Amino acid sequence: MEEDLSGALNSISLGQKDSEIMDSFGLYVVTWNVATAEPPDDVHSLLQLSSPKKPDLYVIGLQEVRAAPLKFVSDLAFDDSWSHLFMSTLAPLGYVKVTSIRMQGLLLLFFSKLDHVPFIRDIQTTFTRTGLYGYWGNKGGVSIRLSFYGHMLCFLNCHLTAHMNNASHRVYESEHILDAQTFDAKNTPRILDHKAVFWFGDLNFRIEDHGMNFIRNCLTSQRFDLLWPKDQLTMMKKKETVLQKFEEGPLNFQPTYKFDLNSDNYDTSGKKRKPAWCDRILWRVLSKSLQKGVVEDGEDKEEQKKEQEEEFPLRVAQESYTSKMDYNISDHKPVVGNFCLELRKIYDTPLVQVCAEGDWSADFDALITYTPLQSFSSSAWDWIGLFEVGFKSISDYVTYTWVKDDQVAFIDGFQIYVSKDDIPVRGGEFVLCYYSSNFQCIVGVSQPFKVQGSRAAIEEGCLPENIDGLNQAVAS
């Protein structure tokens, strides 16, 4: 029955793809060396939340997050202050933290609108230390790779060696990180195997030769283009093959390093370090001839790769590239890049359909139904979680139930009961999410539904009579 259903859905999906146009998704990338500072009170401007068009994905890379031993241990046990701020800001707008990775001062966060979460799979993270000859993580790179509607993407956040005379060493570190980071995947074992790669961070490249007076005159007159020829990254891209693989938008914004703290003045200390574009965002889309598809024995590999690219293309366009000068808690200014991902979905059906059956109340046991829509390897460790609408991350569930415990098969799928003791007495608006242990991600999300608060609690005056009153009480 399940195989027939899966086959029917797949045939419908493949039939539709012949006539589908490309889908567009917004990606917003942030890189910021925060110089061990605590986060500001507000990041709405940083995330451009006043814009009427919200991105589908946020990728936030920080460097020099405070990593003193006691604080680092507490950050591992609980969300660090930066993660907490971004989650608290984005969750009410419908974004979920899908995954993250931390290596000492390097932090990389990946957020998605909830609608896309069931189509984000094959998530893996890794890191590479380059400080103290590879033994210390104050420098290096952290990465997240994943499948987005079937297209393999990788995001790499780096903090490379500092100082003017280390340009060649920065290139060496970049090559080492790109080569050393590997993933448990047949077709995309390394970063550069992915269909699209976004590389960003405090790359620490400086402006050579020009004196301080010339640089300041260029900045005052906003003739940034006069400084580009002596930007080390621009210079290195002309001769280093690995850098030539990446694109970057024009540097039409002020150098983002080095500022006096809590000011917009470049370094006035005795060192008077020259301004530089240390903080960068680059990207690369794998060329058609190198893209890897699923290749069957006996088939022409190059021909199949070409056919897959023609059927499921991916294009990346940068819509804006700038700095956010209104943040001054660090000696670096944050840099943001707004991208459009244009792609044809390789899959557009979730693995599992999840539903809350009937009316839910904290006074009665509740019923969940779930139906596999495609064949996949389920596990006894799969679970379905109850999440409040606006939840922050996958670990932010209210309660959960194992799918293999007390499940009952019926004609269209499976049913599981949830004890009334596990349902929040205050009620509210919730969604159900099916978490796959094998995929290590959410593969199905229900429609939002309301849960009626406990009648006994309402009668005792612990809860208001209606959901509007409940929401006002929770907000206050």
DSSP 216-238: HHHHHTT-GGGTGGGBHHHHHHT
| Beta-strand runs (E) in 177-278 | 196-202
What mean pLDDT is predicted for residues 368-392?
93
* 347: phi then psi, degrees, rounded to nearest 5: -140, 150
pLDDT at 153 over 90: yes
With a CB cutoff of 8 Å and minimum separation 6, the contacts of 4 are: none
Q: What is the pLDDT of residues 15-51, one digit of tens each?
A: 444 445 899 999 999 999 999 999 999 999 999 999 9
Q: What is the pLDDT of residue 293?
A: 43
Q: Which of 343, 364, 398 is the last residue of a domain?
A: 343
pLDDT at 473 over 90: no
On whether both 306 and 205 belong to a single domain, the answer is yes
On whether both 323 and 387 belong to a single domain, the answer is no
How many structural domains comprise the chain? Answer: 2
pLDDT at 474 over 60: no
CATH number at residue 436: 2.60.40.2840
Q: What is the pLDDT of residue 407?
A: 65
| CA nearest to 184, candidates 123, 130, 143, 128 | 123
On whether both 300 and 375 belong to a single domain, the answer is no
Give the Å distances, CA to CA, from 256 to 4, 140, 193, 434: 57, 20, 31, 43
Domain that holds residue 424: 352-475
Q: Which of 289, 308, 343 is the last residue of a domain?
A: 343
Is residue 99 in a domain? Answer: yes
Q: Taking a C-beta distance cutoff of 8 angstroms, is the pair 48, 90 a contact?
A: no
Bridge partners of residue 442, in order along the sequence: 435
CATH number at residue 56: 3.60.10.10
pLDDT at 61 over 90: yes
Q: Taking a C-beta distance cutoff of 8 angstroms, is the pair 156, 103 a contact?
A: no
CA separation for the pair 372, 355 (Å, rounded): 12
With a CB cutoff of 8 Å and minimum separation 6, the contacts of 35 are: 64, 261, 329, 330, 331, 332
CA separation for the pair 146, 68 (Å, rounded): 30
Instruction: Look up residue 435 and give its amino acid.
Output: Y
pLDDT at 444 over 90: yes
Q: Strand, coil or helix: what is 170?
A: helix
Provide, rounded to the nearest whole percent, the portion of the chain with pLDDT above 90: 76
Query: Which pair of tokens denotes residue 104?
Result: 């000492």
Q: What is the pLDDT of residues 256-273, one digit of tens each?
A: 999 999 999 999 998 889
On whether both 265 and 161 belong to a single domain, the answer is yes
Measured between alpha carbons, how far apart are the two ends of the chain, in Å?
50
Query: Which pair of tokens denotes residue 428?
Result: 């509210």
| CA nearest to 143, candidates 129, 124, 160, 170 | 124
On whether both 160 and 132 belong to a single domain, the answer is yes
pLDDT at 299 over 80: no
What's the pLDDT band for 71 if we cut at 50, 70, 90?
low
Is residue 3 in a domain? Answer: no
On whether both 402 and 332 belong to a single domain, the answer is no
What's the pLDDT band for 9 if we cut at 50, 70, 90?
very low
On whether both 309 and 448 belong to a single domain, the answer is no
On whether both 333 and 364 belong to a single domain, the answer is no
| Beta-strand runs (E) in 76-233 | 95-103, 106-113, 120-131, 136-148, 151-159, 196-202
Instruction: Look up residue 284 and give its amino acid.
Output: R
Provide, rounded to the nearest whole percent, the portion of the chain with pLDDT above 70: 82
pLDDT at 452 over 50: yes
What's the pLDDT band for 76 if we cut at 50, 70, 90?
low
CA separation for the pair 97, 57 (Å, rounded): 10
Q: Taking a C-beta distance cutoff of 8 angstroms, is the pair 45, 325 a contact?
A: no
Strand pairing of 366-372 and 413-418? antiparallel
On whether both 49 and 149 belong to a single domain, the answer is yes
On whether both 244 and 314 belong to a single domain, the answer is yes
Q: Which of 343, 363, 388 is the last residue of a domain?
A: 343
What mean pLDDT is predicted for residues 332-349?
97
Q: What is the pLDDT of residues 162-188, one digit of tens each?
A: 999 999 999 999 999 999 999 999 899
Which residue shows structure tokens 């400084």?
A: 227
On whether both 313 and 357 belong to a single domain, the answer is no
pLDDT at 467 over 50: no
Query: Which pair of tokens denotes residue 114?
Result: 């909830």
CA separation for the pair 22, 104 (Å, rounded): 40
